[in-house]
Each structure stands twice: as structure tokens, then as C-alpha cells.
Amino acid sequence: MLRVGIIGATGMVGQRYISLLQGHPWFTVTAVAASASSAGVPYEQSVKGRWQMIEPIPEGVQNLVVLEAINVEAMAKACDFVFSAVEMPDKEMVKKLEESYAAAGLPVVSNASAHRWTTDVPMLIPEINADHTKMIDAQKKKRGWSRGFIAVKPNCSIQSFLTPIHALRAAGYDIDRLAVTTMQAVSGAGYPGVASLDMIDNIVPYIGGEEEKTEKEPLKILGQIKKEAFVLADDITITAQCNRVPVTDGHTACVSMGFAKKKPTREEILKIWRAFVSVPQKLQLPSAPLTPIIYLDEDNRPQPKKDRNREQGMAVSVGRLRECPVFDFKFVGLSHNTIRGAAGGGILNAELLVKQGYISA
């Protein structure tokens, strides 16, 4: 068993990590860290009245005394690698914090956005770009780190559509433009997060920074590594409109897609999606969904409440594939934003890194 630490353990994503890691076959939580104001008391006490998961706090974690996140040394003793679920507003501070962990010899598997555009840090969705982890070698070399490194996952909003898009591109159909409108769950904003006054009889057509991330992050994920540098995908353009809706968990995306040259038929698309498996499935990673893309035939699916938990919240549910009068095809995608789109995605990243040898005891 690898010993796992969680930085930002008291926030929503940190809680989800702790909840999902219960019973994990490879990982066991041995250290939790948070800001100074939450540190110094048992975990159970530090989240009193703030624990948002349906399941109770796992017994092994209840009594872990919360360390201060800046106490890297103590964390380095207590675990083999860390998940970073840090939610500090100052990105530079997050960057430095994560770097200090890596420098101390700890692999950092991060959900934070701070390092997503750092030139030597891979941004991973294992079904799409598992090979991007090789940038870690360059990163270590450049930084002079022997064991530690930083790998990140992208924003939760893009999980609902990017794997289906990748599946088609990987099959030789060059999608070159996407129009995406998301309807995003409130858990994406943490707790307390979105005010109930804004979500009763209302939606909010704006989430700060979300559209930019949705338009740009896919370009790195779909890109390639050449000469130890990321080359962004320059053959696809994305426009995004991001909305907050009164749903607890599950981001929905309405997507129109256009093909550069060869355009598949509806049947070909369905066949590709239904047959799609990738590295996590082939490596049989513990958290990998058996069916990463689930196509639902009903007219009115996917729906957040009914479909977000498919494959333990790790699948992308897709439906309503039909021709688009302006682009070529349109469809609706859905994923669980705090599982696939956050902690579950981070755990899958860590599993990949273990299997590839980047993380070990």
C-alpha cells in the first residue's frame, strides 16, 4: 500500500478524495493537511459541520491530526505522494506550495489550476493523453528533482465532452470546431459556494474563468510533446458558454462538432464511442471505468440525477447524437464533476503514474 497525503483536505474536493479513497486497493490516506486555521486538531473536528459527503468520514481518517500545508517536512515523512486539492485564491502561492512538495521528494497529483499551464507539467486525462506523463522526466531533469514531480488534471467542465471528442479524433475523424454550452452543478464551487438565493427559481449564465478554461485546456490535452515541449493542438477551435444550474453534482454539456474533412455517419460515431477503451482500461487501473463512454438511447438522457453515478461516477454519459444544421453533429455529454471531474480523476491519474513507475513506495 502506498501512503497518501491530501493537501487541502478539508475542502469539498479534499473530502471527496478521502471518501473515494476508502477501501482503495493501492492507496491509504496517512496524512491530511490544510491551512493553519484548520490544522492541529483531528480531521473529524476540523470538518465538523462542514463534511459534505453522504458517507461518513472513514474511520482511519477521523483521528488523523490535520497538519499545516506548509509543513512539507512533516508531510514528506508521513506519505509517499500527495493529492493537492488546494483552493487558495493566490495562484502563485499554490504553485510554490506544490513545488515545495515536489522538491521535498513527493510526487504531487494536483487538482489545482495553478500549474496547468506550466510548460513542463502534464495535464492528464488518462483515456486521452496517458503518454504526456513522459514530460515528467524532463520536468525532473530541469528542476533537479529526483523523486518528486507535479502532474495536474484539467478543469471539471471539460470532462463531460472531451473524451468522446478524442475518441472520434483518434479514429481518424478530424473534429476541428466545437460549440459547447455547459450547465454546471453547484458543487463545482465548493461549500458554501453558490448562494441558495441564486439557485432557487433561477440559473446564472456565468462562472468566472470557466469559459476560458473550457476553451483552452483541451488544446494542451489534445496536443503533443515534441522535443520535451508541449505543442498545443492547433487543428481545433472551441467556444464555450458556461452556466450554473440548480443541480448538486453533474456537469452537462450541449455540444456541436464540425469535422475538417472526412465526416462519419451517425452509426460510425456510435460504434466508435461504444467500442472506445483506452490506456486506463487496458492497464486495468482500479478506478478506471469499464466503459468510459456510455451512450444512452433514450431521447431525454443523459440527466444529472440519473446518470452522474454510472461507473462509480467515472464514466462520461452521452446521448442525443443527431445531425447539426450548422456544424455536422450535436450531442449531450455528462460527467460527475467532483468524481470524474475532480477527485476521481486525480486518483485515476495517480494510478496511471503508479503503473508507469513514476510513483512508488
What does the binding site for its own copies look like in residue numbers (CB under 8 A)? 48-49, 52, 54, 177-179, 181, 183, 186-187, 191-206, 208, 215, 237-239, 241, 243, 245-248, 252, 254, 256, 298-306, 309, 319-320, 324-327, 330, 332
How many angstroms separate the CA atoms of 40 and 210, rounded? 34
C-alpha closest to that of 256 among 278, 239, 273, 234? 239
Q: Which amino acid is at 83?
A: F
User: Where is 94: in which H helix or E strand?
Assistant: helix 91-103
CB nearer its own copies, residue 129 or residue 317: 317
C-alpha gyration radius of the chain: 20
Closest approach of its own copies to the CB of residue 317, in Å: 11
Nearer to its own copies, 246 or 286 (CB): 246
On whether the CB atoms of residues 255 and 161 are closer than 8 A, the answer is yes
Q: Please confirm, yes or no, whether 336 is among the known catalytic residues.
A: no
Candidates 79, 156, 242, 336; catalytic one: 156
Residue with cell 496547468: 116
Min dist. Cβ of residue 12 to its own copies (A): 9
Q: Let me know if 324 is a catalytic residue.
A: no
Element (H, E) at 99: helix 91-103
Which three three-digit cell numbers place residue 98? Answer: 506544490
CB-based contacts of 40: which residues, under 8 Å, 6+ apart? 65, 66, 68
Closer CB to its own copies, residue 249 or residue 351? 249
Measured from the CB atom, the residue of 143 and 306 that comes closer to its own copies is: 306
| Other C-beta atoms lying within 10 Å of the C-beta of residue 42 | 16
Give the nearest distance from C-beta 212 to its own copies in angstroms: 10
User: Min. distance of Cβ 312 from its own copies in angstroms?
Assistant: 13
Say which of 115, 132, 166, 251 is annotated catalytic: 251
Q: Among all residues, which ones are annotated catalytic?
A: 156, 251
